[in-house]
Structure 1
Amino acid sequence: MSRYSEDEIIARVFAPIAGAAALGLKDDAALLAPEGAPLVVTTDTVVAGVHFFADDAPALIAKKALRVNLSDLAAKGAEPIGFLLGLALPGDWTNDWLDAFAAGLAEDARAYRAPLIGGDTGATPGPLTISITALGRAPRFVPRTGARPGDAIFVSGPIGDAALGLAVRRDPALAARLPAEARDHLIGRYLLPKPRLDLAPWLAANASAAMDISDGLAGDLAKLCRASGVSAMVDLPAVPLSAAAREAIAIEPALFETAMTGGDDYEILIAAGPDAAPPAPAGRIGEIAAGKAPPIFLDAQGKPAFFKKLSFQHF
């Protein structure tokens, strides 16, 4: 018997033992309901060699670890109120490394008004592992399960930069063919995502469903559709690409699939009523459809496009 996939681990192993606040583990956050605004809780773990390179600057590692969690809060329409830090350090850590890590974490904690409120540290024989649990409040929790046929599909910004940045980091030949400005832009988007907390109020007021794009646009849309019991049609030429991404794809056309299915964008995937005016700079890329078939992606000729895999999977 083959091992469970990442989605199967969540659905078959952990969902049956989750409490009501976990929403069936169909979302990226839990929903607690004390008096006042709902309390939104999310957690993400980042591991050296999987989510970042071990020799990345410690301040950037810290910021990425926090920002991927803040991105989940943003997608739920929540404003951050604080976070817990779990830090497992390998044997070669140094005071200088830890001081730089803490400085980067503190800078973002101040910038995003998300103070550290607790956590734990420990040693590990394996790679550096950082787990952050972020807490926020939302006037209305935006679920992954609320998309309805006829809803418009929006994305909050350019897609694929981070996945292409990773490809550039891994492929010196590709990096050498790109202009320096494009190369630096793509790598920067991989190293340092930008959580779209500026959109949280609009999402809470307008979105029927949303999630951040952490594992790739194509796969994350499929997840949102499965959770909502709907299908979707996406116009691929409408998906926004940065100038740097277009330069990379012009050099190597196969990178278009990487851009559509690769992870680490941390833009927001949004389903909202067809008359909703998207917040700048979000753009409309398709429509939610009735049925439970996988999303259909249409190319420039209006023909279905197929990808080898829809998104990044850990297992």
Structure 2
Amino acid sequence: MIGKVSPEDLAAHVFGKTGAPDDSVIQGPAYGEDAAAIAVPEGTLVVNSDPISLAVGHVGTLGINVACNDVAASGAEPAWLTVMIFLPASADDGRVLEEVTTQLHETAIDRDVTIVGGHSEYNPALERPLLSLTCMGMADRFVPTGGATPGDHVILTKGAGIEGTAILATDFADDLRAAGVEDTVIERASTFYDDLGVTTESRAVRDVATAMHDPTEGGLIDGLFELASASDVSLQIDTDAIPIRPETVAVTDAVDADPLQIFGSGALAATVPEDAVSGVLDSLAAADIEAADIGTVADRGDVPLSLDDRAITEPVRDDLYALWE
């Protein structure tokens, strides 16, 4: 089995076991909340941890972006990272380690963040590299996943499935070619790694957003479901309004995947008051970030997430998992 632990198991076995209480914790573990917030004398320290456990070709690039994105999606400026690198025992000649650390270093420079420590080891149980990253940053205003309120609008930046498109174009390029996808499309899709960060759009939205979330595994659908669940609201989404790049359509068609249900890093989902929508879209456009108003927030009903007439009542499984099984 591949995938996240269910909300039920998290509630039963994880969320109640957090050690000693600490009044400085503003946001602790909760379903849909990807980062913690801690009150410190200088403001609010935001901390998150993320793994990269499936993709192979650009694990360092993915790791820095995915970890930084959860901090940025909480209204903070990503600043510091620690990285744990686990390598297969067969990769002990230094080449894989050099490749991974070069990706980490170059992406950290691009994101203007500093790697301050970590750990590395070889493990005979692994078949591919595995990373675990912790990112930290300071926020003037912490924005949770669980802050959406009825009447808000849902803003999405860039588009659905950006991360999954990049992974398909690198780790599964041969499968795409065998399915008839042209090399030019695969090449364009592979450049989507350059679009995985969301710090720029966070800066444009965070002062007015009631909630922000970075969709990852399970894609946009699961990200929106988590936002609705954390906020105890229902989201009404117009799927025709969701930006989807043509390269994403091409590669997902080739592997029979839903663009809305593949790894979604690179997009930022934010809820904002209705009277702030126009200003937010203008700010994003000024930052050269594509964005769309894709839906609204309603009082919580029986269905947390409605995609037109499709009701989503539980977390969904990422369509790309099948490629690793």
TM-score, with length taken from structure 2: 0.81
Q: Distance in 2 between matches of 1:174 and 1:124?
A: 31
List runs of 5+ in structure 1 lacking aligned partners.
Answer: 299-303
Kept after mapping to 2: 8 A contact 1:75/1:203: no
Aligned equivalent of 1:287:
296
How far is the alpha carbon of 1:309 from its aligned partner? Answer: 7.0
Farther off after superposition, 81-90 or 165-174: 165-174
1:7-38, Cα deviation, whole Å (9 max, x unpaired): 33322211011256352423100111101221
Conserved in 2, the CA contact under 8 Å of 1:233 and 1:286?
Answer: yes
Equivalent pair of 1:43/1:133 in contact (CA under 8 Å): yes
Deviates more, 1:132-141 or 1:90-99: 90-99
Q: What are the equivalent positions in structure 2 for 1:113-262 lying under 5 Å apart? A: 113-127=112-126, 128-166=129-167, 170=172, 172=174, 174-176=176-178, 177-189=180-192, 194-215=196-217, 216-248=219-251, 255=257, 258-262=258-262
Give 1:305's match in structure 2, choosing from 298, 306, 310.
310
Identify if the C-alpha distance between structure 1 residues 309 and 254 changes in structure 2 by more than 3 Å, giving closer, same or farther. Answer: farther
Q: Using the alignment, how far apart are the partners of 1:247 and 1:24 within structure 2? A: 37
Shift of 1:305: 3.1
CA distance in 2, matches of 1:111, 1:253: 31
- Give the direction of change, closer, same or farther, for the CA distance of 1:112–1:172 in structure 2 (3 Å limit): closer
Distance 1:183 1:24, change over 3 A: same
Question: Do the aligned partners of 2:75 and 2:141 also contact (CA within 8 Å) in 1?
Answer: yes
Cα displacement (A) at 1:81: 1.6
Q: For residue 14 of structure 2, give the secondary structure of its aligned residue in structure 1.
A: helix
Deviation of residue 84 (structure 1)?
A: 0.8
Tell me how far apart the structure 1 counterparts of residues 145 and 44 of structure 2 sit (CA, whole Å).
16
Contact 1:232 1:286 in 2 (8 A): yes
Instruction: Structure 2: give runs of 5+ residues left out of the alignment.
Output: none
Secondary structure of 1:296's counterpart equals strand
Find the counterpart in structure 1 of residue 269 from structure 2.
269
Instruction: Read off the aligned partner of 1:85 and give its amino acid letter.
Output: V
How far apart are the structure 2 equivalents of 1:32 and 1:14? 19
Letter in 2 for 1:28: D
Aligned partner of 1:96 in structure 2 is 95
Q: Name the aligned partner's letter for residue 202 of structure 1.
A: A
Give the CA deviation at 1:165.
4.9
How many positions carry a matched residue from both structures? 296
Output one character per residue of 1:166-186: Cα deviation in whole Å (capped at 9) or x when no partner.
556548564342232222233
SS in 2 for 1:87: strand
Distance 1:33 1:262 in 2: 34
Q: Deviations over 1:68-105 (max 9, x none)?
A: 10111111111122111112222122223222322222
Structure 2 letter corresponding to 1:226: S
Residue identity (%) = 22
1:301 corresponding residue in structure 2: none
Which residue in 1 is equivalent to 2:61? 63
SS at match of 1:33: strand
1:228 Cα deviation after fit = 0.5
- C-alpha change, 1:5 and 1:130, in structure 2 (3 Å) is closer
